Amino acid sequence: MLRRMLLAAALGTLTAAAAQGQTPVKIGVLTDRSGVYADIAGEGSLVAARMAVEDFKAADKGLKVEVISADHQNKPDVGSAIARQWYDRDGVDMIIDGVTSSVALAINQVTKEKNRTFIDTGAGTADLTGVQCTPNTVHWVYDTVALANGTGGAMVKRGGDTWFFLTADYVFGQTLQRDTTAVVTKNGGKVVGSVKTPFPTADFSSFLLQAQGSGAKVIGLANAGGDTINAIKQAGEFGITEGGQALAGLLVFSSDVHSLGTKVAQGLVLTEPFYWDLTDATRAFSDRFAKQMGGKKPTANHAGVYAGTLHYLKAVEALKAASDGARVVARMKDMPTDDPLFGKGTIRVDGRKIHDMYLFEVKKPAESKGEWDLYKLLATIPGNEVFRPLNEGGCPLVKG
Amino acid sequence: MADTAALAPADAAIAPVISEGRDDRALHRRIMLGIAVFLAVAPFVLYPVFLMKVLCFGLFALAFNLLLGYGGLLSFGHAAYFGMASYLCAYAAKVWGLSPELAILCGTLTAALLGLVFGALAIRRQGIYFSMITLALAQMAFFFSLQAKFTGGEDGIQAVPRGALFGTISLADDRALYGLVALVFMGGLLLIYRIIHSPFGQVLKAIRDNEPRAISLGYRVNQYKLAVFVLSATLAGLAGSTKAIVFQLASLTDVHWAMSGEVVLMTLVGGMGTVFGPIIGALVIVTMETYLAQFGAWVTIIQGVVFVLCVLLFREGIVGLIARITRRPL
Amino acid sequence: MTTIFGVPMQALFGQLLLGLINGSFYAILSLGLAIIFGLLNIINFAHGALYMMGAFVAWMLLNYLGVNYWWALALAPLLVGAFGIVLERVLIARLYKLDHLYGLLLTFGMALIIQGLFRNYYGVSGLPYAIPPELSGGQRLPFMFLPNYRAWVVVASLAVCLATWLVIEKTKLGSYLRAATENPTLVQAFGVNVPLFLTLTYGFGVALAGFAGVLAAPIYSVNPNMGADIIIVVFAVVVIGGMGSILGSVITGFGLGLIEGLTKVFYPEASATVIFVIMVLVLLVKPAGLFGRAA
């Protein structure tokens, strides 16, 4: 009896020691799970984060990883409250996703205050690596400047040198318009007009009519989500593309195009950093992802969550500690990134993850071989061209 | 409007009809004391930021209930006062660099002014038309917040400094800030209690229950309505300003019509026209939002179910139900 | 070219026509709301959610059963109406004797549940629904390109509004309905089954919402949030028209569509807010709305 108790005690100490030897890491996926971005991010982000932990084989490498998730409802106050509580009470070390710019900026602040790590994949605001940059934040997938450079620059080079903007009347839309205008004029194009549309808008017909009347060769859609979908759908109805004007989606995800269908969206030109059908590695990842998501292919944001988590875990493994956010992020910046989805890349001192972006055109229905066969690749834009130069963002971490 | 009186005669059935006696005042004093003790102990057990959120929304719901439960006026636009106050407070603290108490004062005064203007327009109409005017005016406040430069559009005003109270006591620590919020809340609660039980409050209740009679008794009904409207807006503004300091941001969420709906829900769940109901309502709703956040898309469904069940099963709200069972006004 | 405030006349015509088309949706939706409010005294916040259901039912009929647009136009309103009848019997019927507020809160809760369920099963990006082949393409008018489908929307909604008005004004059933709106107790005393009447009215009102949903499916994104955005505007339309006034809601629906269309030309950012400005002005001048009688 006594021996058995002693044995049990010894065993208990052993397992406790083993647990102590493992570095605990807690990852929080803070995303929109019920609102307009739930398909771009949402449940899929949680799946992607779990897949990254699984593929990293964390347990073998001395990490004990736990993934939790919550819905920020696209409200900055809800997002910041959850982030605060996660850091203060629940021992979360890193928050990932953070779709919606307003929420991302709020999480950015809290993360800096508490010295943890924030990897943003879903938000578009370039301020995260600009004036509001912090030593605790990495911005992965895209930002408004990169989208403007990608689509704006490419369209002008392809002959679309006069532009008319349909701009969602909020900061995100206006920033997108401003950045794209800069690129268009720099490349020798001209902006002939724009109209601010209330957010959200269901009926774009009268704005499209104004765009049609302007005679511009390109109609730039400086909006997102449901607004973009409605605008594209109605542009088809009013014969805008048949009339020779091109639509340029400034923020379009593959899930949006899938929802429109190739019949309506054909010919749309857009920029994305990821598409499921790029390489064998992306296809393999996407198939596994789709199995867990009822057949849905991952968006660029999901890919970012996967790749970001993977790189983060590498840094934590090297440091054997996750709690000091600034140290982990510094380590992430020191190591070059390499993952199956975005390939090789780097993270700049301002927190900007650098990788290539791709200019896509939506296929015609005749060219599309399946429900998710959506894009054809027009051009690859190298990472050092597509993102904002380091010294132009106004990030205090950049010296000189 | 058609005469549907025969189908819906019970327009006045919003508040409970239990009369108050001297014992009840003593009971209320004991409850107040209980709340004060709870507030003093709570931060050592519960998470202070969560508590502060509950207190801010509790005060907001109390302010709203002052108008609905005691003035009989259903406003669908209370987010305007809550939200505009939080914007002004955040702006004052961040851009003008005012200390938190002055910033909160700024926000509260804004709400008072806004309440005066909107109230003067809205009280000229009754019933559902009153509600609709308040909704429309609040939508304009929302539009203004979206368009105005200083609000930062959908990004809101972020990174608002918590600052130091009276320039000396730093609020960076959650416990210190909690102390301030708890004091603001208790002050608001006592003020509202005092208003309800003052002669002014008695006249309000008379107007709520029978407006023509109050007029025939010689009361200037509209002045009373306007006064309670402004009071309610001011206190809602106080809650909004405090929230801006606590969460260090002010955003469109606080001026959106969904926020107006949320405060109605809190008041309904807790118990309309009860003194303490709105606090319980705010506690229940905020807890639900905080702890259901992990269920993702199910949150709105669960909220909807709560709405439906509340309306069908216990219309008098949680505190209203307790009050009926114990036959004591709470 | 003739211009008005710097806007070419021709462009203005185009915008007015589009405003009229958008007004069609407001008209059908507010007609349903007005009928329900007039008789049941319920402010039906679930109207937007049921409009959304109409669009989804059309999509489901097409994708699961292969039922085309034209059949969906008839079937979807029936299905949504039947669903409404169940809601009325199970939930709403318990509230008739209470304050407006409770009906509003109950239907608001129902809207949250319906929208949440659709969001869980179909996501938020929306689903594609093609314009029926008979109506694709468009006419090149002197001042604009008018898609055939938009023209159809105006025709169909005018027809439905007119038919509804005729039924209410010219038939025996309609006269019961008007009487029950005026004085339900008296009508019940004359042997009319008022509760049944209320149920059928609610079913009819939400069937109108379902009809509007099917009309909207080919041009707007079919997504769970499509009703949440429009419901507040439709409320405003009903209030401006005079609550419970059937003709008022239809005329106001089309009229506000026009005003909104003009705003989109001169001050586009405000086009979502202009309706509320008008609502405040109307209520301050005419307390019972444009076509309502003072309470």
Collect all residues of chain C within an 8 Å Cβ-Cβ radius of residue B127: 100, 295
ipTM of the complex: 0.83
Query: Given an 8 Å threshold on Cβ–Cβ distance, is B155 in contact with A174?
Result: no
B156 neighbourhood in chain A, CB within 8 Å:
76, 102
Number of H helices, E strands in chain A: 15, 15
| CA distance linking residue A334 with residue A346, whole number of Å | 8
Over residues B14-50, the pLDDT tens digits come to 444 456 667 788 899 999 999 999 999 999 888 898 9
Chain A within 8 Å of C272 (Cβ-Cβ)?
yes
Inter-CA distances, A226 with A199, C23, C57, C213, C258, Å: 10, 21, 20, 17, 24
Query: Chains touching chain A at 3 or more Cβ pairs under 8 angstroms?
Result: B, C
* Residue contact C185–B4, C-beta within 8 A: no
Residue A345 parent element (H or E): strand A343-347
What was the pLDDT predicted at B19? 60
Closest by CA to B110, choosing from B67, B150, B137, B80, is B80
- Taking an 8 Å cut-off on Cβ atoms, the answer to whether C147 and A201 are in contact is no
Nearest to A212 by CA among A247, A186, A178, A188: A247
C-alpha to C-alpha distance for A381 and A377, rounded to whole angstroms: 11
B229-274 pLDDT, tens digit per residue, is 999 999 999 999 999 999 999 998 899 888 998 898 899 889 988 9
Which residues, other chains included, contact C244 with Cβ-Cβ below 8 Å and sequence gap of 6+? B1, B2, C34, C37, C38, C181, C292
Residue to test with chain A: of B50, B146, B249, most A Cβ within 10 A:
B249
Mean pLDDT, residues C82-105: 88
- Percent of chain B exceeding pLDDT 70 equals 92
Element spanning C221, H or E = none
Shortest distance, CA B133 to any CA of chain C (angstroms): 6
pLDDT above 60 for A356: yes
Element (H, E) at B248: none
**Angle, alpha carbons B264-B269-B271 (nearest 5°):** 90
**Residues A117 and A312: beta-carbon distance below 8 Å:** yes
CB of B53 within 8 A of CB of B180? no
- Find out whether B161 and B102 touch, Cβ atoms under 8 Å: no
Q: Which residues of B touch A199 (CB under 8 A)?
A: 146, 154
Q: What region, left, alpha or beta, does residue B72 occupy, with left being phi > 0 and alpha being psi -120 to 50 degrees?
A: left
Mean pLDDT of C132-140: 87
Name the residue among C18, C138, C269 with its Cβ closest to that of A196. C269
Partner-chain contact A81 B297, CB within 8 Å: no
Give the C-alpha separation, C206 to C29, whole Å: 9
Predicted local distance difference test score (pLDDT) of residue B101:
92
- % of chain A surpassing 90 pLDDT: 65
pLDDT of B4 = 36
Q: What is the mean pLDDT of residues C147-175?
A: 91
Tell me what pLDDT residue C295 has: 47
Q: Is B293 on the interface with A (CB under 8 A)?
A: yes
Q: Specify the pairing of strand A218-222 against strand A162-168.
A: parallel
Given pLDDT bands bounded at 50, 70 and 90, which one contains residue B7?
very low
User: Does residue A395 have a pLDDT over 80?
Assistant: yes
pLDDT digits (tens, 9 = 90+) for A209-219: 889 888 899 99
Average pLDDT, chain A: 90
Q: Are C112 and B304 in contact (CB under 8 A)?
A: yes
Residue C269 forms contact with B (CB below 8 Å) = yes
Of the given ranges (A79-93, B12-26, C132-146, C256-270), which has the lowest mean pLDDT? B12-26
For residue C10, pLDDT over 80 is answered with: no
Residue of B125, B301, B306 lying closest to C283 (CB–CB): B125
Which pLDDT score is estimated for A4?
57
CB pairs under 8 A between A and B: 89
* pLDDT, position A75: 87
Inter-chain residue contact A69 with B296, CB threshold 8 Å = yes
Residue A16's pLDDT is 47
CB-CB under 8 Å, C220 with A202: yes
3-state secondary structure of B242: helix
Residue-level pLDDT at A2? 53
Separation CA B59–CA B215 (nearest Å): 31
Cβ–Cβ of B132/C239 closer than 8 Å? Answer: yes
Of A42, A82, A101, the CB nearest to B155: A101
Round the average pLDDT of chain B to a whole number and report it. 87
Mean per-residue pLDDT, B145-158 = 84
Q: Which of B255, B302, B19, A72 is nearest to C115 (CA)?
A: B302
Would you call A209 and C18 a contact, using CB atoms and an 8 Å cutoff? yes
> What confidence tens digit (pLDDT) does each residue in C50-93 have?
999 999 999 999 999 999 999 999 999 999 999 999 999 999 98
Inspect the interface and report whether the beta carbons of B1 and C293 lie closer than 8 Å.
Answer: yes
Q: Is the pLDDT of residue C153 over 90?
A: yes
Min distance B159 CA to chain A CA atoms (Å): 7
Task: Using CA coordinates, name the residue in chain B closest to C293.
Answer: B1
Measured in angstroms, the CA of A286 and the nearest CA of chain C are apart by 19
Rg (C-alpha) for chain B, rounded Å, is: 19
